[in-house]
Structure 1
Amino acid sequence: MPNFLGEFDCKLDAKGRMMIPVGLKKQLPEAVAEGLVINRGFEKHLVIYTRKEWDTTVAELNELNQYEKKTREFIRYFMRGASELTLDAAGRVLLPKSLLEYAGIDVNGDVVLSCQLNKIEVWAKSAYDAELDDEPENFARLAEEVKGGAKVRRIDE
């Protein structure tokens, strides 16, 4: 499973194409051969997966009980708009118009690619800045709530 690193400012062209930054492209060697998948995020942003990571995610969805209504609804909304991306010869990807509209991203607009472990979030720059401007007052408390119960590896182990 890849773990991506970095935050990249990009700009879409008039056709909705985005150049993959060199620093990120180096982390995506399989993208040229296997392609990428883009999908809606849980907030108003998009998420890019490697093909391998997407296949793993879909396999996990296939394990859910599809006889339950909430499961079917989740799968339906999660899969809505999922599209393959391929890099062109110039290293660009064409972002689907419907997904751009969902995320409030304008063609010719500024976007931020934010690496989040095994996926890459795509945000309208203004929305990303607003999201991070709303940083919790006490980030240490949030960390304790999220990770406090997790097993912590001690340095002397």
Structure 2
Amino acid sequence: MSYLTGEFECKLDNKGRMMIPAGLKKKLPEAEKEGLVINRGFEKYLVIYTKQEWDKKLDELNKLNQYEKKNIEFIRYFTRGATELSVDAAGRVNLPQGLLDYAGIGTDVVLNCQMTKIEMWDKAAYNTMIENEPENFAALAEEVMGDKRREGGL
């Protein structure tokens, strides 16, 4: 899979179904066959992975020493609520109500693609988060990214 990019506004129907936007669907050719996985994010949003990307996450978790309490807790909280999604013939996915409630997602949704995952936000919450951009984004970029050329990165 290539990296995912884009921001898509969607609506949920009264049964909790969402039509996958055509522009995003083109970037997820394996989704109809293999399905997707949705899970809680680290904040009040949801994360959608392709099945292949989710399996990579599980492979990472499986390498943790499961006799250490902090590892067990992380695995438990990271995977709680994870649900496989099937894409129906109309290109929709049926989203679990428990996860929608967790993230406070109503009818209007924003899908924000981030490399190999898709964040799913309630539209109002997403707009609030975006409006709270750090005052000095350039300073944040320098702190996070630094000079990757010296470190053998970018």
Band the TM-score falls in, shorter-chain normalisation: over 0.9
CA distance in 1 between counterparts of 2:39 and 2:147 reads 31
TM-score for the superposition, normalised by structure 1: 0.93
1:117 CA drift (Å): 0.7
Q: Secondary structure at the match of 2:9?
A: strand
Aligned position for 2:121: 123
The letter for the 2-side match of 1:13 is D
The letter for the 2-side match of 1:63 is K
The letter for the 2-side match of 1:67 is Y
The letter for the 1-side match of 2:37 is V
Change (3 A) 1:71 1:149: farther
Asked if 1:134 corresponds to 2:132, the answer is yes
CA distance in 1 between counterparts of 2:148 and 2:53 reads 24
Change (3 A) 1:150 1:89: same
What pairs with 1:63-82 in structure 2 (closer than 5 Å)?
63-82=63-82
Change (3 A) 1:92 1:152: farther
Q: Secondary structure at the match of 2:38?
A: strand
CA distance in 2 between counterparts of 1:135 and 1:125 reads 16
CA distance in 2 between counterparts of 1:90 and 1:32 reads 11
CA distance in 1 between counterparts of 2:49 and 2:25 reads 13
Aligned position for 1:8: 8
Aligned position for 2:85: 85
Change (3 A) 1:149 1:71: farther
The letter for the 2-side match of 1:26 is K
Number of residues paired by the alignment? 151
Structure 1 residue ranges, 4+ long, deviating more than 3 angstroms after superposition: none
1:41-90 CA distances to partner (integer Å, 9 max, x unpaired)?
00100000000000001000000111111111111000000000011111
The letter for the 1-side match of 2:142 is E
The letter for the 2-side match of 1:136 is P
What pairs with 1:20-99 in structure 2 (closer than 5 Å)?
20-99=20-99
Q: Secondary structure at the match of 1:10?
A: strand
TM-score for the superposition, normalised by structure 2: 0.95
Change (3 A) 1:152 1:8: farther
The letter for the 1-side match of 2:144 is V
The letter for the 2-side match of 1:41 is G
Percent sequence identity over aligned pairs: 68
The letter for the 2-side match of 1:29 is P
